[in-house]
Chain A
Amino acid sequence: MVKILVAEDERDIRELVAFTLQFAGFEVILASNGAEAVELAPTVNPDLILMDVRMPRMTGYEACAVLKNLPETKDTPVIFLSAKGQESEIQEGLGVGAVEYILKPFAPDELTKEVKRVLKETGKA
């Protein structure tokens, strides 16, 4: 089963994402901030990481930068989920190694579609 690590500080959204992905048949591991995601990722070894940008303790960008430097997770595709839709922000996100940038608010089926597409492109599914 494909494993997806979801890092999101807002609980409602975290659960929404979790439900959506589980409903689509993925195994979901949850983290409530960037630091927790960095902690969990090497051990969980997910096929894909879905991360909010603005999070306490460590932002999504910071976490992504760290993960990309870890041997266990450097090849794991990262998708940002953010309400910040400005071009420069998206560029920044992609600059730290993310493969996709999904804007909030999003429709759950769009999220599923996007995740499946990235998995397929990176050869994880």
Chain B
Amino acid sequence: MSNRQGEAPVASIQAELEPGAEQLRRVGALKALQRVMREIAATLDLDAILRVVLDEAIRFGDADAGVVVSFVDGLPEVRASQGYAETDLAALQSQLDGPRDDHTLPQWLVGEEAHCFHDVSAPGGVEVPQPNARAMLVMPVFYEQRLAASMMIQSARPGAFTPAVIEFAECLATQMSIAVGNAQRYQDQLRRGELMHQRAEQMSLLLEVSRTMRSDRPLDDILLDMAYAVQEGTGFDLVLISVLEGHLLRRVAGAGIPLTELEQRKRVRLRWERIRRLCQDRFRLGQCYYIPEQYRHLTEGIDVFVPEESAAVSGSGYWHTEDILFVPLRGNTGEIVGILSVDRPRNGLAPTAMTAEVLELFAAQVAQAIENHRLVDDLRRQVTTLQLFNELNRSITTKLDLPLVLNTVAQSVTNLLGYDYATVFLRDRNTQHFVPMASSGYALDLLEGAPLRVNAGFIADVVRSGLPLVVDDVAADPRFAGIGVPIGSSVAAPLTVEGQTVGILKADRKQAGDFSPAEVATLTALADQVTVAVENARLFEEVKRFNEELEARVADRTQELAEALERLRFQRDRSEVLYHIASELVASLDMDRVLSQALMLLQRAVRASRSSVILVDANTGELFYRAAIGHTHPIPPGGIPAPFRRDEGVVGRALEERRSIVVHDALEDDRVTPSATDAARSMLVVPVLGAGGESLGVILLESPLRGVFDEPQLQLVEAAAVQLGNALNNAELYRLIREQAERLGTMLRTQQIEAAKNQSILEGIADGVMVADASGHVTLFNAAAERILSITRGQALGRPQDEILGLYGSEAQAWLAQIEAWQQDVANCGADTFLAHRLEVGRRFVSVHLSPVVTGTHEFLGVVAVFRDITSEIEADRAKSDFVSTVSHELRTPMTSIVGYVDLMSSGAVGPLTEMQLSFLKKVKANADRLTNLVDDLLDISRIEQGRIELQLRAVAMEDIIAQVLDVIRPRTEEKGQVLETVLPPALPKCYGDPDRLTQILTNLVSNAHKYTPADGLITVYAYVRDGALHVAVADTGIGIAVENQAKIFERFYRVEDDPAVYEVSGTGLGLAITLSLIQMHGGSIWLESELGEGSIFTFSIPLDSDQPTQDVGDLPPALVTTAVPTVMVVEDDAEVAKLLKLTIEAEGMQVLTALSGEEALRMARDELPDFISLDIRLPDLNGLDVLQLLKRDLETADIPVVIVSVVSDRERALSLGAIEYLAKPLEARKLVQVVRRTLLQRVLVVVAGVPKESVDRLREILQGHGIGIRATMRGDRALRLCRGLQPALLALDLGLSGLDGYQLVDRLRRSQHTAGIPIIVTASPGAAAWGDTAQLENRLRALRGVQCLFEHPSVDELADAIFEVLGRPAGKESKHGQDTGC
């Protein structure tokens, strides 16, 4: 290795060589160097090299002895010698070790320069261990500029060392330097090898340690091994390893601690919190924490190692028995997984950085071990879980039997996940309880029959949160109270489907303790699996069901197909026969031929020997043979009577039952009359039915053989019978048509004659007649017309009618307009359509009567105008009116005297009178008054007829008129004990009329009401606005007017004659006629509604003043109708459809109101209070659903059952908004009627009046729970109407109602036999206090039968209880289904 380094000196020496002795010497030197270099190359043994070098130096320099000293770690040491005795060497060594000076050899040996002494014994020389030495050469050897060795050679000859020797020695020194360097390097290598060896040792220890980790041994075992490794490797006697589990430290393994003590410590867990408190920077030692004794107070509660005996040594730098040293064990991500604590160092010293480093090294391994184990643990758990899930998945997908799956799950939880108990609860759809379905670890019967309520215990928490519930200590948790099984800790994971908890998976342990997040996660995942299983099982059940249905259906279809095929085959066979029969039947209308041909074919087809067609004579009902084949006697045309009656034998039976009969053996068939069995054993009788299903006759086929006719033949004959029926029908129709044609021909002739007659009649009559055709041209103009109108026939005929009528000025324009209107609207022209007018032609008056001529099919044919000269009538009428006027005036004058003097006498002005005189005078006065009234009425009538009354029209406040009239009449009503009252809206718009005449009208009506209402009766005047007109209604509870008389009472002098009650009352019979005329003059109308014994309502309308608001105001009087006929309101925008529905439903005996728009429907619902509403969704103004909502929002209409008519998509919404039913379009009236009937029949109804909406809502809810429906209103008059129309089971009324007060309502209900029996509960809400003296009212009400008073402001529930008491139903909890019934 050092050869190259040696090359340079060798070369220089060679260059200097010269021949001769010197040359030889140099060769010798070279050889010596070569030997040295060889030696150096051969060995690394420095001592050997040094020996060789010394040898060569001595030899070359011809020296006696020499030594080589080398410096090991700076200290000189003799390494090689020659010529020295052991003792000399020892002396030299001791000199080298001891103090040195210049006079001794060692001083020179440690010098850094070469020295050559010629004679050391000379003064100032050097003391050499060998006394004979004179010359001495010391040559230092440098290695890396430091003195590495020194060589000394000596000779007994002074000056023995020549410069050549010195030079050679220098060369050798250089060689030595190389050798020393090599040796040094070698030593370094050696030392490094040593270190590496140590490292390898530690490594193998750690390797050992980690090898322990690698195995799948339990963590505790691994850590125990590691504890011993730590003990061995760190120099501490006591080692304790703790693992952090959650927030607790568990002692796992220790070394040097007595086993019992270790076991005891293992059981005690230490809160991590306590240790963490010690991890302060001031205690830090590397990554360790060293808490010296003086901080002992900080370690309170931490059970440090028990000191065995008090240590002798104390003070700084030494370990104290109560010192604490530990290293936190950190996992891969730096989190703390445990601690390693050590105690009692073997060297007794306090820990240093070095100690810490070593501890850390081991701590890392321990941490790694824990981490690894955890990973392995996790992995193992994951593998287990995965296996479990895999297993479950397989069982879930292969076994769809839910109980089996749930059992598997429960088993898995206990067997594989290490729980003691497991239970799977499923939520019952009906009860909502959680029912244990499967369990493991204990018998199911422990839990069976003990479903858990959804809103109690731990279930409630899980359901509410939807998250797993983890309970470490069940015993201390009230949510688990009452769970029979002794469990320590529990995890309950929800089974969630679409946010709803459908079940719970509960896993328990016997011991209390905490669960790791991983365990909870596993259980949650398992719960999810179970959820899937539950869902799968449910889906599978459905699929299975579908499949079964499908299979059943396929089977059905297959069956049907097979049958159909069979039928088809048969059909094909017989269709040919039928084809022939049919073609025979249609070929001719000659029945004889047709029937014979058909029978022939049929007989052949069914192999009968005899056949006949026997028909029923339409007139006599007797049977006759119409056609026959195979009989001994042929049938004459038109047939011959049958020898048996129509109710006899098989023929009779077939006719009667309209069913075919097959007789297989007539001898054994008791249906066959014996006489008919002469030749036939088999018979086939098939009825022939007419178009209306009536029996026309039979086809009879016979055979002398038994059992000839079977099912297919029967079917064939039946088919033929249908054809025959058709043919007979056709023949009948043909006959009818022929007859019809003949009749029409006759009629035509008759009509022609008739028309000619009419023509001559028209010509001959006294009235002028002008007829115009549809185009308006005059086609007839009779002689009288010529005379009356002074136009010749020639001028009129063929001319347009407007030219003729145009002669009469502007009035004619109105006629022409009317004629045109008729032409436009033919459909509305009836027999009673006409236009009457009066015309002045010269000095004469002519009445013109125009009417359209319209056919039954609404075809406009033209116009007939009839002209009559009424001049004389007019004059006579005028004379009569004048006469009436004069006469009435003349009558009035004596009346004045009579009345005046009677009044004077009655007043006592002319002296006292006796009682009798006074009563007579009263009679005179009454009759005089009557006479006066008669005269007044007569005068009015005559003026009205003469058109001589002029109205003084202006804006009139009707309420003033009403007040005025009532004031006048009130004394009379009070005298009779009648109640007179008004129902007026707060603001009534003004009408346009003559106040005096309006007063007269109202006086008349109210006065009539007064007269025809018994004492204690009630008269009510209503005013309201409808259809843009003011309405006034006068309603009474009087005797009423029979329907047949209602139309006549407006006639002059008409009085109901057959009713003594009427004749008791004085009257002229003119009042209503005048009233009618006056109202008509105002442009209004009057009508009435009346029921015998119930009362009458006279209503008249008067136009509103022009600038008045026209919207509806006020309330209508309640209807008098007391029949239980239900009223259905049909809301439908198509007028045609509405009309059709109206007709159909009315035919079912119900009343029908139609509304064409939403607005109209809402108004009508409030006004008319129908019993039922059919609501179309598509309306022109509002959406039907909006209408429904508005109806439901209004207390007055909220409870009217509504059925929605629309397309399917609205169904859910409609029902959710409160519709009771949904009917698809197009609406079938029959279906609607069914729904109405069902709804109204099913309902037990309570009418609730005057109760505020919130209370009604609550009451409705309670009552519906018991199947009781309600109808609510705030108004008394409506309540009356509802009670009359609906005949409720009970009326609950609060005195807070408006319109009609409580007493009036009760009173009126009691007056009518229809409503007298309705039980009534009267309450007084706080708001009704203002109504008056409730005590007095209560007394009045209590006096009435069937009225119960609850005046103590009862709550809704108390009211409900009272209702139940009356209706005989137990007041209990509402049922759950109450809310679902709606309406």
User: Which residues of chain A have a CB within 8 Å of any CB of chain B?
Assistant: 10, 12-13, 16-17, 19-20, 23, 54, 83-88, 104-109
User: Which residues of chain B have a CB within 8 Å of any CB of chain A?
Assistant: 888-889, 892-893, 895-901, 903-904, 907, 909-910, 928, 932, 936, 939, 943, 948-950, 952, 996
Majority secondary structure of chain B interface residues (helix, strand, loop or mixed): helix
Pairwise interchain contact B952-A106, C-beta atoms closer than 8 A: no
Show 7 A/B contacts (Cβ-Cβ < 8 Å), sorted by A.
A13-B900, A16-B900, A54-B889, A105-B892, A106-B899, A108-B904, A108-B907
Least CB distance from B1058 to A in Å reads 34
Contact A109:B892 (CB < 8 A) given known A85-B936, A87-B996, A88-B950? no
Pairwise interchain contact A12-B903, C-beta atoms closer than 8 A: no
Pairwise interchain contact A105-B907, C-beta atoms closer than 8 A: no
Q: Can you name the residue of chain B whose Cβ is closest to the Cβ of A53? A: B889
Pairwise interchain contact B952-A83, C-beta atoms closer than 8 A: no
Among candidates A83, A108, A109, residue contacting B889 with C-beta atoms closer than 8 Å:
A83
Q: Can you name the residue of chain A whose Cβ is closest to the Cβ of B894? A: A12
Among candidates A83, A88, A108, residue contacting B903 with C-beta atoms closer than 8 Å:
A108
* Cα(A104)–Cα(B901), bound, Å: 13
Pairwise interchain contact B900-A107, C-beta atoms closer than 8 A: yes
Pairwise interchain contact B952-A104, C-beta atoms closer than 8 A: no
* Cα(A101)–Cα(B1198), bound, Å: 58
Least CB distance from B322 to A in Å reads 130
Least CB distance from B221 to A in Å reads 131
Least CB distance from B891 to A in Å reads 8
Pairwise interchain contact A104-B907, C-beta atoms closer than 8 A: no
Residues of B within 8 A of A87 (CB): 949-950, 952, 996
Q: Can you name the residue of chain B whose Cβ is closest to the Cβ of A12? A: B897
Pairwise interchain contact A19-B904, C-beta atoms closer than 8 A: yes
* Cα(A86)–Cα(B892), bound, Å: 13
Q: Can you name the residue of chain A whose Cβ is closest to the Cβ of B909? A: A23
Pairwise interchain contact A13-B943, C-beta atoms closer than 8 A: no
Residues of A within 8 A of B893 (CB): 10, 13, 83, 104
Q: Can you name the residue of chain A whose Cβ is closest to the Cβ of B898? A: A105
Pairwise interchain contact A83-B900, C-beta atoms closer than 8 A: no
Contact A104:B896 (CB < 8 A) given known A84-B889, A85-B939, A87-B950? yes
Residues of B within 8 A of A83 (CB): 888-889, 892-893, 896
Least CB distance from A38 to B in Å reads 22
Pairwise interchain contact A13-B907, C-beta atoms closer than 8 A: no
Contact A107:B897 (CB < 8 A) given known A84-B889, A85-B939, A87-B996? no
Pairwise interchain contact A86-B900, C-beta atoms closer than 8 A: no
Q: Can you name the residue of chain B whose Cβ is closest to the Cβ of A111? A: B900
Residues of B within 8 A of A54 (CB): 889
Which of A10, A84, A108, A109 has the most B CB atoms < 10 Å from its CB?
A108
Pairwise interchain contact A105-B896, C-beta atoms closer than 8 A: yes
Which of A20, A84, A105 has the most B CB atoms < 10 Å from its CB?
A105
Least CB distance from A79 to B in Å reads 15
Residues of A within 8 A of B943 (CB): 86
Least CB distance from A36 to B in Å reads 19
Residues of A within 8 A of B952 (CB): 87
Which of A19, A20, A104 has the most B CB atoms < 10 Å from its CB?
A104
* Cα(A84)–Cα(B948), bound, Å: 14
Pairwise interchain contact B950-A16, C-beta atoms closer than 8 A: no
> Apart from A16-B896, A20-B909, A54-B889, what 9 extra A-B contacts exist at CB < 8 Å?
A13-B897, A16-B901, A23-B904, A84-B889, A85-B939, A86-B949, A87-B996, A105-B895, A108-B907
Contact A104:B903 (CB < 8 A) given known A16-B897, A85-B939, A87-B952? no
Least CB distance from B1098 to A in Å reads 25
* Cα(A13)–Cα(B909), bound, Å: 16
* Cα(A20)–Cα(B900), bound, Å: 9
* Cα(A74)–Cα(B416), bound, Å: 132
Least CB distance from A83 to B in Å reads 3
Among candidates B896, B907, B949, B950, residue contacting A109 with C-beta atoms closer than 8 Å:
B907
Residues of A within 8 A of B900 (CB): 13, 16-17, 20, 105-108
Least CB distance from A93 to B in Å reads 15
Q: Can you name the residue of chain B whose Cβ is closest to the Cβ of A14? A: B897
Residues of B within 8 A of A85 (CB): 936, 939
Among candidates B892, B910, B948, residue contacting A104 with C-beta atoms closer than 8 Å:
B892
Residues of B within 8 A of A106 (CB): 896, 899-900
Least CB distance from A43 to B in Å reads 28
- Top 4 A-B pairs ranked by shortest CB distance? A83-B892, A105-B896, A104-B896, A105-B899
Least CB distance from B921 to A in Å reads 13
Pairwise interchain contact B904-A20, C-beta atoms closer than 8 A: yes
Which of B901, B936, B949 has the most A CB atoms < 10 Å from its CB?
B901
Residues of B within 8 A of A19 (CB): 904, 909-910
Residues of B within 8 A of A86 (CB): 943, 948-949
* Cα(A109)–Cα(B939), bound, Å: 26
Residues of B within 8 A of A108 (CB): 900, 903-904, 907, 909
* Cα(A83)–Cα(B890), bound, Å: 8
Q: Can you name the residue of chain B whose Cβ is closest to the Cβ of A9? A: B893
Pairwise interchain contact A107-B903, C-beta atoms closer than 8 A: yes
Least CB distance from A89 to B in Å reads 10
Least CB distance from A104 to B in Å reads 4
Pairwise interchain contact A16-B889, C-beta atoms closer than 8 A: no
Q: Can you name the residue of chain B whose Cβ is closest to the Cβ of A52? A: B893
Q: Can you name the residue of chain B whose Cβ is closest to the Cβ of A110? A: B903
* Cα(A85)–Cα(B899), bound, Å: 17
* Cα(A108)–Cα(B996), bound, Å: 24
Least CB distance from B490 to A in Å reads 102
Residues of A within 8 A of B910 (CB): 19
Q: Can you name the residue of chain B whose Cβ is closest to the Cβ of A86? A: B943
* Cα(A87)–Cα(B899), bound, Å: 23
Pairwise interchain contact A13-B896, C-beta atoms closer than 8 A: yes
Least CB distance from A60 to B in Å reads 14
* Cα(A24)–Cα(B375), bound, Å: 132
Residues of B within 8 A of A13 (CB): 893, 896-897, 900
Residues of A within 8 A of B996 (CB): 87
Q: Can you name the residue of chain A whose Cβ is closest to the Cβ of B952? A: A87
Q: Can you name the residue of chain B whose Cβ is closest to the Cβ of A20? A: B904
* Cα(A107)–Cα(B903), bound, Å: 6
Least CB distance from B946 to A in Å reads 11
Q: Can you name the residue of chain A whose Cβ is closest to the Cβ of B904? A: A108
Residues of B within 8 A of A16 (CB): 896-897, 900-901, 904
Least CB distance from A111 to B in Å reads 8
